[in-house]
Structure 1
Amino acid sequence: MKHSALSISIFIISSILFTVSCNTTNNNTSSTENKIDHIIEKKIDSLLKSLHQNRKFNGNILIAKNDQIIYKNEFGFSDGYKKNILKETDRFNIGSIYKEIPAIAIMQLEEKGLLQLNDPIKKHLSYLPDWSNNIKIINLLQYTSGLPKIDWRKHKIINDQNLINDLSEISNLEFTPGEDYIYTNFSPFLLSKIVESITDTTFSSYVNQNIIKPLHLEQSTFNTSFPYKNRDSMALPFNNKFEEDKLPFIIKSPIFLFSTTTNDLFQLIKNLHSGNIINKNSLLKISKTANLDRNNMQSALGNITYEKEKIIEHTHHGTSGNYESIISKNELNSTTIIILTNNKSGNIHALRNTIIELIKTNNEVK
């Protein structure tokens, strides 16, 4: 059932492609390529419209080829009351994709000589217990610190101070740092605190000055509370009954509330891989997982595929309640796909894969 809507859509799109292929071809190569590009846009649009009509996709999407946007659109509502249609400028919480932001900030500081990845985190966060002498910054980047996962239901209000108090109560780590892996939000949280300690400013202020403003990410921001106090320009999360998300606690830690748009994410990813916010060596460092004999580990950038020490694919997936997001940049076919939804249907990986296959088929025709 999960992929039924996709199967129906692909059948429809195949019919469209067959019909179009019967048209007379143009001998002019440029004209032919433009026609084929238009066909792929129509196929993608038909796929997404079909999914939306079957209530399998509500969200915004952007697709780029050779760093040029070839398709972007919005489908559905920005709230559970169905009062507002999604706009291009509506912001989404991007789940775990936010973890790239503190990693980028850390590498900016390393490039300036203000820290080293082998620094024990106690050097920068002196208030932490003695176990912090054994955790290096690289352990936080690779989720090998030995810290547990955050207990989100422990407090009625999740704020920075409560999380620091929770860390202070830890007497023993889950394992010796560097010897195992736990995908914990304590890692990016502590990375953000290291940035604050070194720069003597809030993490959100640092990011605004050193990432958001230089890249002109005009719709990106750190919200200060969830439920949101300001709902304007936010794509609000809701379930299939159009009930907006209600958590048993309030979040007041801005790092977990980074929200952005497809346009801004595209600019962030493009500039990240172009060496415009950190250099290529720094990018390589935060793209690597720990050297452990286990599967399904993520780097600070999510899932990275290499070919001779060169990044050929960067994919990162994130969820938060009914928010779900995926970014996918592939150097082999020069494509970038960004999908953001505020009505999680569990099909975002399948949707991304289908779009990749459609683009691949289009390239083979060329």
Structure 2
Amino acid sequence: MAFSRVQLLFFRCLSALFISLFAASCQEPKNQDQLNEPQQLVEKEDKVKIPASFTAEKARQLSDRLDSAFTYLHKRKGFNGTMLVTKYDQVIYKGAFGYSDFKQKDTLSTETAFQLASVSKQFTAMAVMMLQEQGKLQYDDSVQQYIPDFPYKGITIRQLLTHRSGLSNYTYFSDELWPDRNVPITNEDVLKLMATHQPRPYYPPNTHFDYSNTGYALLASVVEKASGVPFAVFMQKNIFKPLKMKNTFTFSEEVITMTGKVATGHTGGRRKRWPDYLDTVLGDKGMYSTVEDLYKWDQALYTQKLVKKETLAEAFAGSGQKKKDEDYGFGWRITQVDNGDTIVYHAGLWHGYTSYLLRNPKDHSAIIVLSNVPNGSLSYLKDIRKIMYPATEDSTSGKELAGK
């Protein structure tokens, strides 16, 4: 069978292409660092369609309303912090108001890190979910399988995740039992205090929802025991680095000296708030991040980069034990907003910092707010929610019917 000149030229070009691709695939990387580069995020599994009604002009109008609202909170309510708001995966508004340090007059930026307080809990829960997928633990395992000296029987990992352990708060019993508040207390120290003194639980396990910092501090210890590496190392290696959250880290003594990069915590009267001996306990708090990095985290949760979507769905499902129209999943509160959408969120308050992260999976929107002056200004975020999720006639009617 004869080939024309055009066909021969085509086959030669095709052969050359295969040879070049093969040669390129056989080349060694230029340096060892290329081997350690984190993989790109997995393609989004949960696609969201932008409705035709959400035009560029609508996005601009929404951005203007948010700017007016946050400017009002800053000027009239004393809000000091950073924020980033998204809709349909796109950033529609971000900004920074006020100072990182009032004494030094360092201005804030969206790349300034803040203590996340209880927003840290969702990261701790993710570490547990990752280990569950790896087969290194199960949600219904007893805590004693990982911490043999744990003196309370019948408490499971799932109960720690959903705040149903009934354990007393370590931030209270440590004040009584820790001998020297000038010496930092660690997660291991908390375990020893519990083993030695056995503080009385508030409730028997799995009988009440009772928000528990102790439970999430214990989860950090379980992560260490199950993974075989320190909790801070696990978080950095398995979550922060793969998601390229370059300004996210756990508390250490170095944090205090990171002037400019980390916002200083203040009292409501704008006096500097120094860390104390409890800051070194991790899991329930103790993580630092920026609104920019938290946006990366939000976006990663629409992929399977960290865990399968079925695993994440269980974290957002809740325990079925609602309290004040809210449920609690694995590190997330679950409720409805005015337009009827189900959202997941968490807020935090700790030693001069407040934090807030809300996600709406229906329209892939998020509200991320970090502050270093806990003066109550974040209580006005309900107004931001109303801007993002205004009530409609259908949603109002649905709520009225539900109440009958």
1:323 Cα deviation from its structure 2 partner: 1.1
Task: Tell me which residue corresponds to 1:188.
Answer: 216
1:277 Cα deviation from its structure 2 partner: 1.3
* RMSD of aligned Cα (Å): 2.9
Report the secondary structure of 1:350's partner residue.
Answer: helix
Match of 1:66 among 71, 88, 91: 88
1:83 Cα deviation from its structure 2 partner: 2.0
For the residues of structure 2 that align with 1:264 and 1:292, how far apart are their CA atoms? 32
Q: Tell me whether 1:348 sits opposite 2:372 in the alignment.
A: no
1:43-74 deviation digits (Å, cap 9, x = unpaired): 22122223222352110000111111111111
Q: Tell me whether 1:167 sits opposite 2:167 in the alignment.
A: no
Could you tell me whether the CA contact under 8 Å between 2:315 and 2:332 is conserved in 1?
no
Could you tell me whether the CA contact under 8 Å between 1:75 and 1:86 is conserved in 2?
yes
Task: Tell me which residue corresponds to 1:243.
Answer: 271
Q: Cα–Cα, structure 1 residues 198 and 63, in superposed 2: closer, same or farther, change >3 Å?
A: same
For the residues of structure 1 that align with 2:346 and 2:53, how far apart are their CA atoms? 35
Moved more, 50-59 or 166-175: 166-175
Query: Which residues of 2 match residues 1-366 of structure 1 at below 5 A?
Result: 33-129=55-151, 131=152, 133-150=153-170, 151=172, 152-154=174-176, 155=178, 156=181, 157-168=184-195, 169-170=197-198, 173-225=201-253, 228-246=256-274, 249=277, 251-255=279-283, 256-292=285-321, 294-295=323-324, 298-305=328-335, 312-351=342-381, 353-360=382-389
Moved more, 259-268 or 280-289: 280-289
Identity level (%): 23
Could you tell me whether the CA contact under 8 Å between 2:268 and 2:373 is conserved in 1?
yes
1:127-151 deviation digits (Å, cap 9, x = unpaired): 322x2x4111111111111211112
Could you tell me whether the CA contact under 8 Å between 2:320 and 2:327 is conserved in 1?
no
Report the secondary structure of 1:78's partner residue.
Answer: strand
1:204 Cα deviation from its structure 2 partner: 0.7
Q: Cα–Cα, structure 1 residues 227 and 105, in superposed 2: closer, same or farther, change >3 Å?
A: closer
TM-score of the superposed pair, with normalisation by structure 1 = 0.81
Q: Cα–Cα, structure 1 residues 274 and 95, in superposed 2: closer, same or farther, change >3 Å?
A: same
Q: Cα–Cα, structure 1 residues 52 and 171, in superposed 2: closer, same or farther, change >3 Å?
A: closer
Q: Cα–Cα, structure 1 residues 136 and 208, in superposed 2: closer, same or farther, change >3 Å?
A: same
For the residues of structure 2 that align with 1:123 and 1:60, how far apart are their CA atoms? 42
Moved more, 279-288 or 319-328: 279-288
Task: Tell me which residue corresponds to 1:12.
Answer: none
Report the secondary structure of 2:99's partner residue.
Answer: coil
How many residue pairs align between the two structures?
330
Report the secondary structure of 1:251's partner residue.
Answer: helix
1:328 Cα deviation from its structure 2 partner: 1.0
1:357 Cα deviation from its structure 2 partner: 2.8
Q: Rg: which structure is higher?
A: 2
For the residues of structure 1 that align with 2:278 and 2:254, how far apart are their CA atoms? 6
Could you tell me whether the CA contact under 8 Å between 1:327 and 1:336 is conserved in 2?
yes
Could you tell me whether the CA contact under 8 Å between 2:124 and 2:331 is conserved in 1?
no
Report the secondary structure of 1:153's partner residue.
Answer: helix
* 1:96 maps to amino acid: S
Q: Cα–Cα, structure 1 residues 244 and 227, in superposed 2: closer, same or farther, change >3 Å?
A: farther
Could you tell me whether the CA contact under 8 Å between 1:149 and 1:184 is conserved in 2?
yes
For the residues of structure 2 that align with 1:252 and 1:258, how far apart are their CA atoms? 10
For the residues of structure 1 that align with 2:318 and 2:55, how far apart are their CA atoms? 39
For the residues of structure 1 that align with 2:146 and 2:331, how far apart are their CA atoms? 23
Could you tell me whether the CA contact under 8 Å between 1:324 and 1:342 is conserved in 2?
yes
Moved more, 292-301 or 113-122: 292-301
1:121 Cα deviation from its structure 2 partner: 1.1
For the residues of structure 1 that align with 2:363 and 2:354, how far apart are their CA atoms? 24
Moved more, 287-296 or 63-72: 287-296
1:283 Cα deviation from its structure 2 partner: 1.6
Q: Cα–Cα, structure 1 residues 30 and 180, in superposed 2: closer, same or farther, change >3 Å?
A: closer
Moved more, 82-91 or 58-67: 82-91
Structure 2 residue runs without a partner (length 5+): 1-50, 394-404
For the residues of structure 2 that align with 1:55 and 1:177, how far apart are their CA atoms? 41
1:42 Cα deviation from its structure 2 partner: 2.0
1:40 Cα deviation from its structure 2 partner: 2.1
Q: Cα–Cα, structure 1 residues 182 and 225, in superposed 2: closer, same or farther, change >3 Å?
A: farther
TM-score of the superposed pair, with normalisation by structure 2 = 0.74
1:240 Cα deviation from its structure 2 partner: 4.3
